[in-house]
Chain A
Amino acid sequence: MTDVPLLQVEDLNLKFHLFEGVSHVLDGVEMQVRKGERVALVGESGCGKSVFVRTVLGLLNRRNVEVSGEIRYHGEDLFGLSDGQRRDLRGRKITMIFQDPVAALNPVFTIADQMTEVIRRGNPKCRSAEALDIARQALLQVSIDEPDRVLKSYPFQLSGGMNQRVIITMALINRPELVLADEPGTSLDVTVQEQTLRLMTRLTQDAGAAVLLIAHNLGVVREFAERVYVMYAGTIVEEGTVEEVFRDPLHPYTKALFAAVPRLTGGAMPRAIEGMVPDYTRAPEGCRFHPRCPHATERCKVPPPTLTMGPGRRVKCILHEGQAVEAVHG
Chain B
Amino acid sequence: MAETLLEATALTKDYRVGNHVVHALRGVDLSVERGECMAVVGESGSGKTTLGNLVLGIEPPSTGTIRFQGRELPAKRGRHLRRRLQVVQQNPMSTLNPKRTIFNSVSLPLAVHRLVPRKEIRDRTAELLRIVGLSPDYMDRYPVALSGGQRQRVALARALAAEPDCIVLDEPTSSLDVSVQARVLELLVDLQQRFGLTYLFITHDLSVVRNIATRVMVLYRGRVVEMGSTESVFAQPRHRYTQMLLSSIPVVSEEEERIKPAWSWDKELAGGDRVSEVGCAFFPRCPYVLDECKTQRPPLEDVGSGHLAACHNPG
A residues near B (Cβ < 8 Å) are 44-45, 142-143, 145, 159-162, 189-195, 197-199, 216-220, 222-223, 246, 256-273, 276
The answer to whether B179 and A272 touch across the interface, beta carbons within 8 angstroms, is: yes
On whether A269 and B211 interact (CB within 8 A), knowing A219-B252, A264-B251, A276-B147, the answer reads yes
- B94 on the interface (CB 8 Å rule)? no
CB-CB contacts below 8 Å: B246-266 with A: 246-253, 255-256, 259-260, 265-266
The answer to whether B273 and A162 touch across the interface, beta carbons within 8 angstroms, is: yes
The answer to whether B245 and A190 touch across the interface, beta carbons within 8 angstroms, is: yes
Separation of A160 and B248 alpha carbons in the complex (Å): 17
Cβ of B227 to closest chain A Cβ, rounded Å? 18
B251's nearest neighbour on chain A, judged by CB, is A219
Which secondary structure dominates where chain B touches chain A? helix
Residue numbers in A under 8 Å from B265 (CB-CB): 194-195, 198
The answer to whether B182 and A194 touch across the interface, beta carbons within 8 angstroms, is: no
Separation of A102 and B185 alpha carbons in the complex (Å): 29
Cβ of A188 to closest chain B Cβ, rounded Å? 8
Cβ of A279 to closest chain B Cβ, rounded Å? 12
The answer to whether B207 and A262 touch across the interface, beta carbons within 8 angstroms, is: yes
B270's nearest neighbour on chain A, judged by CB, is A143
Residue numbers in B under 8 Å from A44 (CB-CB): 177-180
A258's nearest neighbour on chain B, judged by CB, is B252
Cβ of B252 to closest chain A Cβ, rounded Å? 5
The interface bits of chain B over 179-208 (1 if a CB of A lies within 8 angstroms of the residue's CB, else 0) are 111110110010000000000000011111
Residue numbers in B under 8 Å from A189 (CB-CB): 43-44, 204
On whether A216 and B253 interact (CB within 8 A), knowing A161-B272, A191-B245, the answer reads no
- B301 on the interface (CB 8 Å rule)? no
Cβ of A144 to closest chain B Cβ, rounded Å? 9
Residue numbers in B under 8 Å from A142 (CB-CB): 269
The answer to whether A263 and B256 touch across the interface, beta carbons within 8 angstroms, is: yes
On whether A261 and B252 interact (CB within 8 A), knowing A190-B205, A256-B179, the answer reads yes
- B246, B251, B259, B268 interface centre (most CB from chain A within 10 Å): B251
The interface bits of chain B over 32-51 (1 if a CB of A lies within 8 angstroms of the residue's CB, else 0) are 00000000000110000000
The answer to whether B181 and A260 touch across the interface, beta carbons within 8 angstroms, is: yes
- B234 on the interface (CB 8 Å rule)? yes
- B67 on the interface (CB 8 Å rule)? no
Cβ of A309 to closest chain B Cβ, rounded Å? 21
List 13 A–B pairs whose Cβ atoms lie within 8 Å, in order of A's numbering: A44-B180, A190-B248, A191-B248, A193-B248, A223-B250, A260-B178, A262-B208, A262-B210, A262-B211, A265-B256, A270-B178, A272-B179, A272-B182
B263's nearest neighbour on chain A, judged by CB, is A194
Residue numbers in A under 8 Å from B245 (CB-CB): 190-191
On whether A197 and B250 interact (CB within 8 A), knowing A191-B268, A262-B185, the answer reads yes
- B244 on the interface (CB 8 Å rule)? yes
The answer to whether A270 and B248 touch across the interface, beta carbons within 8 angstroms, is: no
Separation of A194 and B260 alpha carbons in the complex (Å): 13
Q: Which of B185, B234, B260, B269 contacts A266 (CB 8 A)?
A: B234
A292's nearest neighbour on chain B, judged by CB, is B179
Q: Which of A143, A218, A269 contacts B252 (CB 8 A)?
A: A218
The answer to whether A219 and B211 touch across the interface, beta carbons within 8 angstroms, is: no
Residue numbers in A under 8 Å from B211 (CB-CB): 262, 266-270
Separation of A194 and B267 alpha carbons in the complex (Å): 13
Cβ of B151 to closest chain A Cβ, rounded Å? 14
The answer to whether A216 and B177 touch across the interface, beta carbons within 8 angstroms, is: yes
Separation of A262 and B176 alpha carbons in the complex (Å): 13
The answer to whether B183 and A272 touch across the interface, beta carbons within 8 angstroms, is: yes
CB-CB contacts below 8 Å: B108-166 with A: 147
- B44, B250, B253, B256 interface centre (most CB from chain A within 10 Å): B250
Separation of A155 and B9 alpha carbons in the complex (Å): 38
On whether A264 and B178 interact (CB within 8 A), knowing A189-B44, A222-B250, A276-B147, the answer reads no
Separation of A159 and B275 alpha carbons in the complex (Å): 14
The answer to whether A194 and B273 touch across the interface, beta carbons within 8 angstroms, is: no
Q: Which of A143, A190, A223 contacts B204 (CB 8 A)?
A: A190
The answer to whether B273 and A161 touch across the interface, beta carbons within 8 angstroms, is: yes
The answer to whether B179 and A257 touch across the interface, beta carbons within 8 angstroms, is: yes
Residue numbers in A under 8 Å from B182 (CB-CB): 259-262, 269-273
Residue numbers in A under 8 Å from B189 (CB-CB): 269
Q: Which of A143, A159, A256, A264 contacts B269 (CB 8 A)?
A: A143
Residue numbers in B under 8 Å from A273 (CB-CB): 179, 182
The answer to whether A270 and B268 touch across the interface, beta carbons within 8 angstroms, is: no
The answer to whether B253 and A199 touch across the interface, beta carbons within 8 angstroms, is: no
On whether A190 and B249 interact (CB within 8 A), knowing A262-B210, A273-B179, the answer reads yes
The interface bits of chain B over 68-94 (1 if a CB of A lies within 8 angstroms of the residue's CB, else 0) are 000000000000000000000000000
A142's nearest neighbour on chain B, judged by CB, is B269
List 8 tightest A-B contacts by C-beta distance, closest first. Answer: A219-B250, A272-B183, A194-B248, A270-B182, A272-B182, A143-B269, A260-B182, A273-B179
Separation of A47 and B43 alpha carbons in the complex (Å): 30
Cβ of B47 to closest chain A Cβ, rounded Å? 14
Residue numbers in B under 8 Å from A271 (CB-CB): 182, 186
The interface bits of chain B over 273-310 (1 if a CB of A lies within 8 angstroms of the residue's CB, else 0) are 10000000000000000000000000000000000000
On whether A260 and B179 interact (CB within 8 A), knowing A265-B256, A269-B211, the answer reads yes
